[in-house]
Structure 1
Amino acid sequence: MSRAQHDPAALAGLFSGFGRELNSLRTVDEVMETISRRAFESIPAAQHAAISRGRKGKFETIAATSELPLRVDAIQYELSSGPCVDAILADTTYRVGDLAHDRTWPEFGRRASAEFGIHSMLSVRLYLENDDLLAGLNLYSAELDAFDETDQTTAVLLATHGALAHTAARRQDKIDNLEQALVNSRRIGTAIGVLMASYRVTDEQAFDLLRIASQSRHRKLIAIAEDVIESGELELPPLPESRHRD
């Protein structure tokens, strides 16, 4: 490996560049898609890239740069073993250069090589703040010994910043959801006030009327509330006819 590949300043610059891009994203999906895409673009040996995400015993492949990772990963999920699964569960990084003859995952390696022509993989764990949610960045190549230490360093940098950006995006998502919930709560409260004035009912009864309308019309409560605020009226289902005879 050349001195440039060990240059701390170069690594710091690469790390900062990834960070600026990832930290500008607001959603978890955007973060995951960017990590996968940037890994594919930044590591020439990578012919495909994707992220495995889930919880112990159940994973899914997301943000894939092609259909192939989904098919290769399906074998790992079926066997509950493979570079990406074990990198996540063992909190480590795996770089495999000859899957067809690999002794660690003989069944997976044989099938990945024979069925899809994949001979090399690089899998890196993403350390997410949510301990229950697990994830890993995976790179794939049809070439033997495709990935080297430099590729591994780049992948680790992406995974590190990706995990930080993922945490930030989750926090932002929670904030956005809370803010929207507060707005919705105010609008529903306004609609309740309109119904209380229009129908001379209590606040609890007004809320029940909103829920009845929501259920009968198969619309969200906030949508019904907005209609009430705009029109001052509430469309309710007819009362059932009494079956008792006098």
Structure 2
Amino acid sequence: MPRSNSGEMELAQMFAEVSRTLLDQRDVQSTLNRIVQLAQANLKNAESVGVTIIKGRKIESPASSGELALLVDRLQELTDQGPCLDALRNHEVVLISDLESDTRWPEFARRAHNEAGVSSIMSLRLFVHEDTIGSLNVYSTQRDAFDDKGLALGAIFATHAAVAIARSRREANLELKADSRDLIGRAKGILMAQRHVTDEQAFALLREASQRLNVKLVKIADDVTFTGDLPRPVA
């Protein structure tokens, strides 16, 4: 087999294994943890990897493969500047070959180089369709650690990672909705037995309490299953 074909086959096998491994994860956090581990293991010169996630208006760093990524991600949050934030905000891929001489983020560059010893950074936007999920941040203490080939492989890995995160989030939301439906069903059953009302009337009581107390309906249902009755307004 020609060498180029052999290399392509190895890459295909590697990404197939990455996809299978990520699909096996049970929840969002385990998916994030596995992403950073796999990225460090499979991307050349990756010494530490972190994931930065958009959560509402906040930016969080819920997973890292080591202290280096944890520190550098934290420095970007503290200084409100850096490559991963640009990857998130400007929908771009950011590659740094020598952080010490980079002038785009002066405070972050100074602190990341002095405090963490980082020289090379590759930040890749994580997105599905047009929705940005976060960024995959790959760090090295070597200069010129990531070349064009590494950037291309990183982009492919980021695509697999984004799909896995989106899938795990969707499954978590479905489980939450199912749990909420079960909880509301139990609360309705309690009210039906206690007040001798129909299913529709029991749901109306839950909805009225939710609106009156300005509390989510599922929280009202949880109170009913715990106390056996609708919550009363605080005097």
Q: TM-score, normalised by structure 2?
A: 0.77
- Aligned runs of 1:111-130 on 2, under 5 Å? 111-128=111-128
Rounded Cα–Cα distance in structure 1 between residues aligned with 2:203 and 2:135? 48
- Aligned runs of 1:145-164 on 2, under 5 Å? 145-164=144-163
Question: How far is 1:117 from its partner?
Answer: 1.0
Identity of aligned residues (%): 26
Rounded Cα–Cα distance in structure 2 between residues aligned with 1:57 and 1:6? 45
Residues 58 and 77 in structure 1, CA contact (< 8 A), matched pair in contact too: no
1:132-153 Cα offsets, whole Å, 9 max, x none, are: x540001112122222334323
Aligned residue-pair number: 222
**Structure (1 or 2) with the larger CA radius of gyration:** 1
For the pair 1:179 / 2:185, whether they are aligned, the reply is no
> Structure 2: 5+ residue runs without aligned partners?
none
1:160-189 Cα offsets, whole Å, 9 max, x none, are: 011111221122122212211221122111
Q: Which moved more, 1:22-31 or 1:112-121?
A: 22-31
Question: How far is 1:63 from its partner?
Answer: 0.4
Residues 223 and 231 in structure 2, CA contact (< 8 A), matched pair in contact too: no
1:92-122 Cα offsets, whole Å, 9 max, x none, are: 2222121101233343222211122111111
For the pair 1:102 / 2:99, whether they are aligned, the reply is no
Question: How far is 1:126 from its partner?
Answer: 0.5
Rounded Cα–Cα distance in structure 1 between residues aligned with 2:126 and 2:4? 26
Which residue of the partner structure matches residue 71 of structure 2?
Answer: 71
Residues 57 and 80 in structure 1, CA contact (< 8 A), matched pair in contact too: no
Rounded Cα–Cα distance in structure 2 between residues aligned with 1:226 and 1:167? 33
Question: How far is 1:11 from its partner?
Answer: 2.8
Rounded Cα–Cα distance in structure 2 between residues aligned with 1:177 and 1:54? 20
> Structure 1: 5+ residue runs without aligned partners?
229-233, 241-246
Rounded Cα–Cα distance in structure 1 between residues aligned with 2:4 and 2:86? 31
Q: Which moved more, 1:135-144 or 1:96-105?
A: 96-105
Q: Which moved more, 1:13-22 or 1:135-144?
A: 13-22
Residues 22 and 34 in structure 1, CA contact (< 8 A), matched pair in contact too: yes
Taking a change above 3 Å as real, the CA distance of residues 204 and 188 of structure 1, as seen in their structure-2 partners, is closer
